[in-house]
Amino acid sequence: MSIILKNATYTYMAKTPFERTAIKDINLEISEGEFVAIIGHTGSGKSTLVQHLNGLLKPNQGMVMVNGVDLHQKGEAAKAAKRRVGMVFQYPEHQLFEETVYADIAFGPKNLGCPEEEVDKRVRRAMEFVHLDFATYQDRSPFQLSGGQMRRVAIAGVVALQPQYLILDEPAAGLDPCGRDDIFTKLIDLHKKTETTIILVSHNMDDVAKMANRLIVMHEGEISLDGPPQEIFKHTEALKAAGVDVPQVTALLNRLKVAGLDIDEHILTVDDAVESIVASLRRKKSC
Amino acid sequence: MNQLIKVENLQYIYNENMANEFIALHDLNLTIHEGEFVAIIGTNGSGKSTLAKHFNALLLPTSGSCIIDGIETNSSDKLWAIRQKVGMVFQNPDNQIVATLVEEDIAFGPENLGVPSDEIKSRVDNALRAVGMEEYRKHAPHLLSGGQKQRVAIAGALAMQTKCLVLDEPTAMLDPQGRLEVLETVKNLHKRLGITIVYITHFMEEAVEADRVIVMKNGSVLDDGAPRAIFTQVKKLKELGLDVPLAAQVAYQLRKTGIKLPADIITDEELVVALCQSF
């Protein structure tokens, strides 16, 4: 099972002076169980790309298939396939609308026709997933929560749909470091426990490098790099061209290497970096 | 130096006397002087934005006072004077655009004040120059990049001849390039025009650029000092749920393994220099 884009091209405002091709002839397969991060500069086409994955945008050319079903054919099969893909937009808190946190999260599963108990179960599970205490928050108005809490309610609303593929467009923008780590830990958890495929859109390398097992770098509407994080960060030039930073840890280790310290600069976490620096200093001292 | 913002025993309660009453700010005291560059950090819900909204009278104290350049914010007849002194830039650039051309967007504030049109023109010119957006004056703001939109928003505040800019997570939505653009613009305004900056952020590498960092927790000021004094307290900030700059984090962990390093490292540069000296 997978999501496949075949020769997908999308042009905004075609045949007007504002015409702009946002993605060009994209071929991509995302398989069930992957944890993929799509990164790129503003305007690189990453948001346009992911809006194809659940059929929100229809490619001008090419096709999108979810689990083998063409999303843009007519009929029930395509509708069901679209439901497999859940999407958390940028600033999802702008889409909150219900009077209570509970009602907002329950809205999706109710619409899917879930029975009351199932809805309740899903709401509780989703709230637990985003770390919102059920008793404290279920009756609160979502509009009187802090920005980070609102974000979590909105994410819970999509998680409650239990999609097979979960797309999140910049889920951590505007969250404090704690909220950010929290969301990411929960995503890793969800990925591990339920084998939900996670597709994350971000421009922050630091965030995604540690989590994803596959990175896709977008540049001017095309895929410029695609592979495991350690591989991607070796392509410093291509990353620079795409306007994407290497993670701060990598940047720091690069500087140390230039300064003469013998270390592996393809390290992605602070702990590994510290270990590598210590080992390198010891080697220096012993010779 | 002139006390530009003076907050005394400030308390702010959302939904006072209702079931969902929430005390966002507790008995807060704070003075910001003219010409300072202050960063405010703290977790979501610590009261940063609530505090910032007091600085230009978008919110008024439930009790206590907030005095801007000598004017109490709850003197309602002085509202416009206060808003002219303190300009706000918010997180989402798309929510702050009002006009269809960049120059019209920037002119919106002074036009509303009834500033003569020659004067408006020169203010717009100066504001565009200050944020490095002259060549975009005839562009449609909604088609600009996020960083450019934020610079337009900043220019809008400058056209009001604001003394102080309050920026509430201005880079949260931006890519690395946009973040750099906004930060450089802000630093420039502070250095060249002497504008007082209050900069709320979750990015510690941005907060490091300020002269002073205020740490908020549960509606109060927990800590207040120079970036070096704040960010070397790695353990404390981590416990608060905040980040420290990467170099401070790495130095902290290296020291724990027994490597001797100065206690005040907060930038990559300093760490590289210190490590090079140690071998």
Nearest to B259 among A249, A252, A278 (CB): A278
A240/A252 same-domain check:
no
Nearest to A255 among B14, B241, B268 (CB): B268
Sheet arrangement for strand A222-227:
A85-88, A165-169, A197-202, A35-40, A214-219, A222-227
Q: At CB < 8 Å, which residues of chain A contact B?
A: 41-43, 90-91, 140-141, 144, 146-149, 170, 173-180, 203-204, 243-245, 248-249, 251-252, 255-256, 259-261, 270-271, 273-274, 277-278, 281, 284-285
Phi, psi (degrees; rounded to nearest 5) at B213 = -120, 130
pLDDT-derived band at A204, boundaries 50, 70, 90: confident
Output the DSSP codes for B42-73: E-TTSSHHHHHHHHTTSS--SEEEEEETTEET
Number of inter-chain CB pairs under 8 A, A vs B: 108
Nearest to A174 among B147, B173, B271 (CB): B173
A71/A137 same-domain check:
yes
DSSP A246: P
Comparing alpha-carbon positions, the chain B residue that sits nearest to A249 is B246
Domain residue spans of chain B? 3-244
A103/A127 same-domain check:
yes
Q: How many angstroms separate the CA of residue B95 from the nearest CA in chain A?
A: 12
Nearest to B44 among A147, A243, A256 (CB): A147
Which chain A residues have a beta carbon less than 8 Å from that of B49?
147
For residue A60, the model assigns a pLDDT of 95
For residue A22, the model assigns a pLDDT of 92
> Which tokens is B94 given?
């798309």
Residue with token string 């510690």 = B204
Which chain A residues have a beta carbon less than 8 Å from that of B42?
176
Nearest to A178 among B49, B241, B250 (CB): B241
Phi, psi (degrees; rounded to nearest 5) at B40 = -115, 125
Give the model confidence (pLDDT) of A127-171 as tens digits.
Answer: 998 889 999 999 999 988 877 788 889 999 999 999 999 999 988
Which chain A residues have a beta carbon less than 8 Å from that of B174?
42
- Cβ <8 Å between B272 and A259: yes
CATH value at residue A138: 3.40.50.300
A82/A202 same-domain check:
yes
Q: Which of B99, B80, A237, A145 is nearest to A154 (CA)?
A: A145
- Cβ <8 Å between A281 and B275: yes
Tally of structural domains, chain A: 2
pLDDT tens over chain B, length 279 residues = 799 999 999 999 998 888 878 899 999 999 999 999 999 999 888 999 999 999 999 999 999 999 999 999 998 889 989 999 999 999 888 888 889 999 999 999 999 889 999 999 999 999 999 999 999 999 999 888 888 999 999 999 999 999 999 999 999 888 888 899 999 999 999 999 999 999 999 999 999 999 999 999 999 999 999 999 999 999 999 999 898 999 999 999 999 998 889 989 999 999 999 988 876
A192/A274 same-domain check:
no
- Cβ <8 Å between B272 and A177: no
Give the model confidence (pLDDT) of A222-262 as tens digits.
Answer: 999 999 998 898 888 888 888 888 888 888 998 898 888 88
For residue A240, the model assigns a pLDDT of 86
Please name every residue paired with A36 in a beta bridge, in sequence order, or none if there are none: A199, A214
Mean pLDDT, rounded, for A51-75: 94
A157/A212 same-domain check:
yes
> Which tokens is A270 given?
């602070």
A196/A97 same-domain check:
yes
Q: How many CB atoms lie within 10 A of CB B68?
A: 25
- Cβ <8 Å between A174 and B172: yes
A269/A150 same-domain check:
no
Residue A33 domain boundaries: 2-244
How large is the C-alpha radius of gyration of chain A? 21
Q: Does the structural domain B3-244 have CATH classification 3.40.50.300? A: yes
Which chain B residues have a beta carbon less than 8 Å from that of A285?
279
d(CA A159, CA A130): 9
Please name every residue paired with B225 in a beta bridge, in sequence order, or none if there are none: B213
Sheet arrangement for strand A69-70:
A20-31, A2-12, A61-66, A69-70
Mean pLDDT, rounded, for A52-79: 94
Nearest to B254 among A175, A260, A277 (CB): A277
A257/A183 same-domain check:
no
d(CA B185, CA B225): 23
For residue B174, the model assigns a pLDDT of 84
